[in-house]
Structures are given as structure tokens and as C-alpha cells.
Amino acid sequence: MPQRHIPQSKTTHADTPNKMRRAKADDSTATFTFTVNGSSHTLSLDPRTTLLDALREHLHLTGTKKGCDHGQCGACTVHVNGRRVNSCLCFAAACDGDTITTIEGIGEVEALHPLQAAFVECDGYQCGYCTAGQLMSAVALLDEPIGPSDSDVREAMSGNLCRCGAYQNIVSAIQSVRATKPSSK
């Protein structure tokens, strides 16, 4: 069972206070613009709205899942400016000007991302609730300086929990894709 912690590469926004100041806010709403999966969106929301809720409830991108809603499970993982983050821990308004990628942005049914195909091939899921978050972490991991072993991958994926216990197959899927990318560290 992997340790329960958020990898250092997976954090909330470091410059959240500045971003929150840049987003236009009145007493009840903050107005901000970000790009999600290549499309620009301007939203006016309660400034306390998390990125996760903005994506799911306001942009109807429900592929990103809410598990614990406080940074413990990784089900809500998305990319902000190429880095994986727990979207339940980010204020949406703090993402003003940012580029966000969700599970809907990494592949199509007819053109799966190599990791999506590998998860299918290696049986890397059961109920699938954690799978979007697992995949978003795994996609980011391909460009992170982690070691080559299975235990290195387990450590890098330790912020993503799977109640079904598909961990070994998830590691196998990730390693099968890493093996095809000689530039991976």
C-alpha cells in the first residue's frame, strides 16, 4: 500500500495570493479567465470555489472526480500549466490566466493516449473512480525526473489512492509506456 502523501510535484498553487488579487472580485464573485483543454473560459464565481467544482459544476467536465475533497486521494488530479495538482485544493480564481488540462483533454475514444491504452491493456482499474486522477498523474510523471524502478513509480504515484487495489497493474501500465520513451528519466 503506497504511503499517503502528496508528492512535492503535486501541490496547490504557489502564487495563489497574487493570482487571487489579479482576478477581479466584488463582494460576492471573482471574475477570471483560464484555458481548459484548449478553450478559453471566463467565469464569475464565489471566490471560494475550488478548481474542481468550477470544472465539474460550471464547465460540466465531470471526468475529474471528487473523492475526499481535501487533498488525500488524488481523484481530482488535473494539470495546471503542465504540473499535476489536486484541483480540490486550488481556488479556481487563483488559476486566472492559467492553462488547465483535464482527463477530457488527453485523449479521444478513437485515439487514446498511450497511457489510457496501457491501462486498458494492463487492466489498471476496476470501478474506475480513481482512474482519471491516476491517468493525469501518470501523464505528468512521464516528464518528471523519477527513477526507473517500480518502487520509484509507486512513490511518484503515492498521492493517488485506489480503493479497488489496482496498484500493481497501474504500475505495470505506466512502466510499459515509460519503456517506449527512452528520454524518460
Q: Contact at 8 Å (CB) between 85 and 15?
A: no
What is the crossing angle of helices 167-178 and 114-121, to 10°? Answer: 130
Cell of 23: 482576478
The residue from 74, 102, 141, 156 that contacts ligand FES (CB under 6 A) is 74
71 lines the binding site for ligand FES (CB under 6 A): yes
C-alpha dihedral (177, 104, 169, 143), degrees to nearest 10: 40
| Near ligand FES by CB under 6 A: residue from 88, 94, 141, 174 | 88
Taking CB under 6 A as the criterion, the residue among 9, 12, 44, 126 binding ligand FES is 126
Q: How far is the CB of 126 from ligand FES (least distance, A)?
A: 4
Distance CA 176, CA 116 (A): 12
Among 41, 164, 175, 184, binds ligand FES (CB under 6 A): 164
Q: From CA 30, how far away is CA 125, in angstroms rounded?
A: 38
Q: Output the smallest distance, CB 141 to ligand FES, in A.
A: 17
66 binds ligand FES per the rule CB under 6 A: yes
The reply on whether position 5 binds ligand FES by CB under 6 A is no
Which of 163, 181 has the CB closer to ligand FES? 163
String of DSSP letters for 104-149:
GGS-BTTB--HHHHHHHHTT--SS-TTHHHHHHHHHHHTTS---SS
Question: Does residue 13 bind ligand FES (CB under 6 A)?
Answer: no
Among the listed residues 130, 153, 157, 177, the single contact to ligand FES using CB under 6 A: 130
Residues that bind ligand FES (CB under 6 A): 66-69, 71-76, 86, 88, 125-131, 162-164, 166
